[in-house]
Structure 1
Amino acid sequence: MDVFYLPAGILIFTITIVDIIKTTLSTKGGGVITKRTSKAVWKLFFSLSGKEGKSSFLEYAGTAVLVVVLLVWIIGLWSSLFLLLLSDGDSIISSTTRESATALEKLYYAGFTLSTLGVGDFVASSSSWRILTSSMAFAGLVFITTSITYFLPVLSAVNLQSKLSLYISSMGGTPQEMVAKGWNGENFSSFFDCVPNMCQMLIKHTLNHHSYPVIHYFHNKEPKQAIIVQVVVLEEVYYLLRQVVSTEVILDEVKMTMLRTALDTYFSLVKENFIKEESSHKSPPAPELAPLLHSGIPVKQEASINQGNSQQQPDSRNILTALLGSDGWTWQEVYPTKDIIG
């Protein structure tokens, strides 16, 4: 018995199974292998696309991540059984000649055992190896099936992500437009009527994001359907309402708190898992206020706006540039050039 193959096979099998269980059956996010594999695939697609959010190539990144993760799991299970069989030169024998199987034949045997497609040309040589074969066949059936069914909730979460993006973008093409459309001449009641439903979807998306981190890599080349762009737009709407609109206008504080909580929860998640700390210190541009003034919305004096901006906690706005850049976007998708103070 080879002293190297046995512990190596056990170790690879354990790591693979733990990663599958944590990724597919836990709400704590993906396992270490899944996270690292997902980031590596995304970085490859991101680099090949020129880090351009409008690249059609990036739309295949999410699907590629799922396929590669599944392949990594299959390879992990396959290689672990292969190493276990290699630990004993006589573990597998030919069913006709009774001769010991070669390394390539054991690789073949390990593959058809995990896929439960054995044809009987090779068999285990003893009761202990038969038990191991049966156990691995059962493990392959359970965990590979579980891995494939994992795709269903992931795709459902991606659909919610798209739905939320379209919901936000349907309220206005820019933050100023959303604020202007929500103004009825006295308050923003029409905007706040949409806040509960929007917050509910955003919180659910954040929870999905935590349970299925791979959805972060499902990209849409259209800014109106890109979740990161639209969440940043929503954050800027909150900024305009809180820091730019005059204090004479009464805001619905309950719904403002709901919106702030939903946004903070989302930003906390992406900052912790998907944004490099050192790239999160750039401040977003100052929005042009003319569209608000044109709609008759009272705004604060410029000095008051600047003071409010300087006192604002950085966690909600200073990561926005890095968040947009991590998905290939710029502030141009949030504010057209004409809507930014130069």
Structure 2
Amino acid sequence: MIGLVSIGLLIVLSTIIDIVWTTLWVEGGAGFITDKLCKVTWFVMTKITGKNRKVLRLAGPLLLISTLLMWVVLLWFGWFLVFSASPQAIMNTSNPQAISWQNVIYYSGYTLFTLGLGDYSPSGPYWQLLTAIASGTGMLFFTFGASYIISIVGAVIDKRSFSSSISEIGKSSEEIVGAAWNGKDFSNIDLLLMNLSDNLSKVAIKHKAYPLLHYYHTSDKKKTMSLTVPTLDDALSILAYGTEEKAKPNPILLKKFRNCVKDYLDVLEETYMTKADKALALPDLTGLRKKGYPLVSDADFSKKMQHQKERRQQLLGFVLKDNWTAEDIEKLK
């Protein structure tokens, strides 16, 4: 008896910790069980489907549903073990016959999902207390589960809205740099940096708070942060290290936004992806140079970008983890 009760309560407690960890702990990422489920499911789907974007678009909703179902099954199974520990734990109020294991499954689920007891009731104060606790865990699951769904959907919308804001400025780093040029310098991008830096910081926090957000894949490149963020970062690298001093945009805004991008990549590396073995190739300045923009030489640009290797490894790791390739970055059109 004690063994089954202990195992059942351990399963219930582990599930509750996973639920609270995943839904409420902003700094903690996903709970251990949820984290393993997401990573294994994403790995299997990418291996089986390859580059099938239509299937990968289902990954996010599938993982959200799977997570909720996993919590239900674990809670239900845990309480089933608890109430199976003794044949006297539950009694039939309408018929004094022996309780079968099917009746225990029914009672455990009924207690978990409703506030009533139906045809069965606990036979003593000890089992009455456990029944009340079981009902409480059900209420906890529904409350946290509903709020988590709303939070995830809202975060997905914010994430794709941010990506669209970038792609509307330019679908390549060259286009973004060109849009920043006002005839004398690149200060046209100052307002963009001011408006988007706070938005990116919020997206980064939501990625850490809601790890399932990582797995919401889209086939629309213009709404994919794993492509638009590297594209924008290439443009910012050109503006920070590839242009002449007199033509650079506001250095404070540029530094702030580049730091926001780095913080975002650090969050992703901590909760979702690993940096690539090699760095993302440097953006090509040839096309911009032909348009007459005041740029430094390729040698100077390459030298100044040497200390950005780790950052560009993170960028490429982000691209690859989301099942894209480096070539896709310059193909947003």
Q: TM-score range by the shorter chain?
A: over 0.9
After superposing the two structures, state which structure 1 stretch, 76-85 or 93-102, moved more: 93-102
Deviation at 1:255, TM superposition (A): 0.6
Alignment pair present for 1:296 and 2:292: yes
Deviation at 1:141, TM superposition (A): 1.8
User: What do the CA deviations read for 1:227-249 (whole angstroms, capped 9, x no partner)?
Assistant: 11111111111111122222342
Alignment correspondent of 1:139: 137
Query: 50, 56, 60: which is aligned to 2:54?
Result: 56
Change (3 A) 1:100 1:199: same
CA distance, structure 2, for counterparts of residue 266 and residue 217 of structure 1: 16
Alignment correspondent of 1:178: 176
Deviation at 1:117, TM superposition (A): 6.4
CA distance, structure 1, for counterparts of residue 312 and residue 176 of structure 2: 18
CA distance, structure 2, for counterparts of residue 199 and residue 166 of structure 1: 15
CA distance, structure 1, for counterparts of residue 63 and residue 13 of structure 2: 22
Alignment pair present for 1:25 and 2:24: yes
Deviation at 1:36, TM superposition (A): 1.3
For normalisation by structure 1, the TM-score amounts to 0.92
* Number of aligned residues: 331
CA distance, structure 1, for counterparts of residue 103 and residue 265 of structure 2: 51
- Counterpart of 1:45 in 2: which secondary structure? helix
After superposing the two structures, state which structure 1 stretch, 149-158 or 295-304, moved more: 295-304
Deviation at 1:209, TM superposition (A): 0.7
Task: Give the letter aligned to residue 175 of structure 1.
Answer: S
Alignment correspondent of 2:101: 103
User: What do the CA deviations read for 1:194-217 (whole angstroms, capped 9, x no partner)?
Assistant: 111111110000011111111111
Deviation at 1:226, TM superposition (A): 0.5
Alignment correspondent of 2:43: 43
CA distance, structure 2, for counterparts of residue 250 and residue 74 of structure 1: 55
- Counterpart of 2:169 in 1: which secondary structure? coil
CA distance, structure 2, for counterparts of residue 283 and residue 234 of structure 1: 16
Alignment correspondent of 1:210: 208
Q: Which runs of 4+ in 1 moved over 3 A?
A: none
CA distance, structure 2, for counterparts of residue 163 and residue 303 of structure 1: 37
CA distance, structure 2, for counterparts of residue 24 and residue 320 of structure 1: 27
Task: Give the letter aligned to residue 306 of structure 1.
Answer: S
Deviation at 1:152, TM superposition (A): 0.4
Instruction: State whether residues 109 and 118 of structure 1, in contact with CA within 8 Å, keep that contact through their aligned partners in structure 2.
Output: no
Task: Give the letter aligned to residue 4 of structure 1.
Answer: G
Structure 2 unaligned blocks of 5 or more = none
Alignment correspondent of 1:340: none
Task: Give the letter aligned to residue 322 of structure 2.
Answer: D
Please give the root-mean-square deviation of Cα atoms over the aligned residues, in Å: 1.7
Instruction: State whether residues 176 and 237 of structure 1, in contact with CA within 8 Å, keep that contact through their aligned partners in structure 2.
Output: yes
Change (3 A) 1:213 1:226: same
Alignment correspondent of 2:15: 16
CA distance, structure 2, for counterparts of residue 118 and residue 127 of structure 1: 17
User: What do the CA deviations read for 1:170-214 (whole angstroms, capped 9, x no partner)?
Assistant: 010100110011111211121111111111110000011111111
Instruction: State whether residues 22 and 34 of structure 2, in contact with CA within 8 Å, keep that contact through their aligned partners in structure 1.
Output: yes
User: What do the CA deviations read for 1:277-310 (whole angstroms, capped 9, x no partner)?
Assistant: 5xx2212223332321233211111221221122
Instruction: State whether residues 115 and 135 of structure 2, in contact with CA within 8 Å, keep that contact through their aligned partners in structure 1.
Output: no
* Percentage of pairs with the same residue: 27
Change (3 A) 1:5 1:119: closer
Structure whose residues are more often helix by fraction: 2
CA distance, structure 1, for counterparts of residue 288 and residue 56 of structure 2: 35
For normalisation by structure 2, the TM-score amounts to 0.94
Deviation at 1:118, TM superposition (A): 4.7
Change (3 A) 1:153 1:204: same
Alignment correspondent of 2:63: 65
User: What do the CA deviations read for 1:261-286 (whole angstroms, capped 9, x no partner)?
Assistant: 10110011111222235xx2212223
Residues 1-342 of structure 1: pairs in structure 2 closer than 5 A: 2-28=1-27, 29-50=29-50, 52=51, 55-116=53-114, 118=116, 120-276=118-274, 280-310=276-306, 312-336=307-331
CA distance, structure 1, for counterparts of residue 267 and residue 40 of structure 2: 19
Structure 1 unaligned blocks of 5 or more = 338-342
Task: Give the letter aligned to residue 43 of structure 1.
Answer: F
Instruction: State whether residues 281 and 319 of structure 1, in contact with CA within 8 Å, keep that contact through their aligned partners in structure 2.
Output: no
Deviation at 1:138, TM superposition (A): 2.5
- Counterpart of 2:2 in 1: which secondary structure? coil
After superposing the two structures, state which structure 1 stretch, 184-193 or 95-104, moved more: 95-104
Instruction: State whether residues 22 and 30 of structure 1, in contact with CA within 8 Å, keep that contact through their aligned partners in structure 2.
Output: yes
Deviation at 1:94, TM superposition (A): 1.9
CA distance, structure 2, for counterparts of residue 250 and residue 112 of structure 1: 66
